[in-house]
Amino acid sequence: MTLQGSLTHEEYCAQLLAETDAFREIVRHADLSVTVPTCPDWTLADLARHVGGAHRWAGTLVAARAKENVDDADIPEGDGPAGRDAAALDAWLAEGAERTVAALREAGPDAEVWSWSPVQRAGFWARRMTHETVIHRADAALAAGAGFDVPAPVAADCLEEWLQICELPVFAQRFAGSGTELFGPGRTLHVHATDAPPELTAEWLLDLTGEAPIHRRTHEKATVALRGPLSDVLRVVYRRLPADSDRVEVLGERALLDAWLAWASFG
């Protein structure tokens, strides 16, 4: 497992800035006290502080070429501005993303940097922070009643990364508390983005017939299929959109899809 991405390091850096700008656009025009339905313990202001803090954490790791995780106290302005000043929060988000991208560009993708994954390189953080911001933009859009769409190559890579993460032993162990009845003979799941350009191969076969999940990008018949626009199937896989939404279609054994979504979840 290499957690290999499909974009270049510079493409991730540029997209991280673009995703942060799109996230900030939502936050600037919304009620910061509103609850985020997909993160119900957080307000929109809490979500913004989480995103900005994650950016600064990753940027600190990369800038320091850290050999191990850093203490929260060592992350510059990691908690964000005091109070509820929306303009200060917006400026903090922008500055944090810019600092992180500057560190990523200076380091290059192959600089050795600690991460919680097998990939101990700066390039891991460029990809991870891009997709972290994509998914939390989906949270913000839902809270604010805003639209959500992601460039197809980014959305496909985001979905691919999540399936790669789910195959890591450390996460399989963490998810195991959700039940092992997920795995067994004949248990396969097909995800099909109906609007993606053919060159993306935006179809995935998730094989649950063994003791741990494995996946491949292919068009293949499965026990259950999830079909719909790429940005929408991405949100379903990340549990940011219900599988019974009229924006997607589920064919076959819906219970298997529900079991997977319950298993591959942090909450």
Q: Do both 92 and 213 map to the same domain?
A: no
Dihedral (C-alpha) 199, 204, 205, 206: value to the nearest 10 degrees?
Answer: 150
125 in the same domain as 202:
no
Tell me the pLDDT of the chain averaged across its residues: 94
3 belongs to a structural domain = no
- DSSP label of 70: P
* Residue 1 in domain: no
The residue among 94, 120, 148 that closes a domain is 148
Written as six digits, the tokens of 208 are 């649950």
Higher per-residue pLDDT: 28 or 265: 28
* CB-count burial class (<10 Å; 0-12, 13-18, 19+) for 252: middle
CA distances from 163 to 3, 109, 126, 239 (A): 9, 21, 18, 13
> For residue 252, is it within any domain?
yes
2 within domain boundaries: no
Residues 143 and 176 in one domain: no
In a domain, 242, yes or no: yes
Q: Say whether both 106 and 208 belong to one domain.
A: no
Calculate ∠ Cα 94-54-25, nearest 5°. 35
Contacts of 260 (CB under 8 A, 6+ apart): 182, 189, 206, 208
- Token code pair at residue 123: 């390039």
- Expressed as residue numbers, the domain containing 114 is 9-148
Q: Count of domains in the chain?
A: 2
Report pLDDT for 177.
62
Domain identity same for 129 and 225: no
Alpha helices per DSSP H over the chain:
9-28, 44-64, 86-107, 122-144, 152-167, 169-175, 230-237, 254-263
Return the closest-CA partner of residue 92 out of 75, 76, 80, 104: 80
Q: Are residues 19 and 141 in the same domain?
A: yes
pLDDT in tens, 72-115: 999 999 999 988 889 999 999 999 999 999 999 999 999 999 99
* pLDDT value at 152 more than 70: yes
Domain boundary, last residue among 148, 173, 197: 148
The domain that holds 35 is classified in CATH as 1.20.120.450
* Confidence band of 179 (pLDDT split at 50, 70, 90): low
What is the tens place of the pLDDT at every residue in 20-65?
Answer: 999 999 999 999 999 999 999 999 999 999 999 999 999 999 999 9
Band of residue 265 on the pLDDT scale cut at 50, 70, 90: confident
pLDDT at 1 over 60: no
Give the mean model confidence (pLDDT) for residues 14-19. Answer: 98
90 lies in the same domain as 166: no
Q: What is the pLDDT of residue 150?
A: 97
In which residue are the tokens 């997607």 written? 248
**Local structure of residue 69 (DSSP, 8 states):** P
**pLDDT at residue 266, as a whole number:** 64
Q: What local confidence, expressed as pLDDT, does residue 82 receive?
A: 85
CA angle 195, 199, 203 (to 5 degrees): 55
Residue 182 shares a structural domain with residue 222: yes
- Asked if 60 contacts 70 with a C-beta cutoff of 8 angstroms, the reply is yes
3-state secondary structure of 79: coil
3-26 mean pLDDT: 96
Query: Can you give the pLDDT at residue 178?
Result: 59
The mean pLDDT value for 221-225 works out to: 98
Instruction: State whether 63 and 172 are in the same domain.
Output: no
Report whether pLDDT(234) > 90: yes
Q: How confident is the model at residue 218 (pLDDT cuts 50, 70, 90)?
A: very high
HEC profile of 99-137: HHHHHHHHHCCCCECCCCCCCCEHHHHHHHHHHHHHHHH
Helical axes 86-107 vs 9-28, angle rounded to 10°? 180
Is the pLDDT at 174 greater than 70? The verdict is no
Query: Is 113 inside any structural domain?
Result: yes
* 78 belongs to a structural domain: yes
Residue 122's pLDDT is 98
Do 34 and 142 reside in the same domain of the chain? yes
| 22 and 132 share one domain | yes
138, 219: one domain: no
Q: What pLDDT is stored for residue 176 in this prediction?
A: 60
Q: How far apart are CA 85 and CA 92, in angstroms?
A: 11
Q: Which of 148, 172, 195 is the last residue of a domain?
A: 148
Phi, psi of 66 (to 5 degrees): -60, 140
Structure tokens at 132: 């972290």
Write down the pLDDT at residue 173.
67
CATH number of the domain to which 198 belongs:
3.30.1050.10
Q: Please give the pLDDT value at position 170.
A: 76
pTM: 0.95
